[in-house]
Amino acid sequence: MVDLENLKFRIEQLRLYMVKVAMEKGNFSDPAVVEISQQLDELIIQYQRASGMIRTELPSFCNCRV
């Protein structure tokens, strides 16, 4: 089971680090900042899944194969 509080802490720390790097680089489109942003996206999705904010399974009416 995922510790949501720890995950929230990691998200916030990475967000602050991303802003710091962006300020040092002079913009948010620098490759280093984009890489951190992608890592942040992964953590946010992990948090959303763990907290039930987004569904990870397909709806029952969908006959799609993944």
Whole-number pLDDT of residue 53: 79
Q: What angle do CA 51, 33, 8 make, to 5 degrees?
A: 20
Q: Which amino acid is at 6?
A: N
Q: Which amino acid is at 57?
A: E
DSSP codes of every residue in 38-60: HHHHHHHHHHHHHHTSS--S--T
Question: What is the pTM assigned to this prediction?
Answer: 0.76
What is the band of 43 on the pLDDT scale with cuts at 50, 70, 90? very high
Instruction: Give the percent of the chain with pLDDT over 90.
Output: 73
pLDDT at 59 over 80: no
Give the sign of the dihedral formed by CA 12, CA 13, CA 18, CA 20. positive
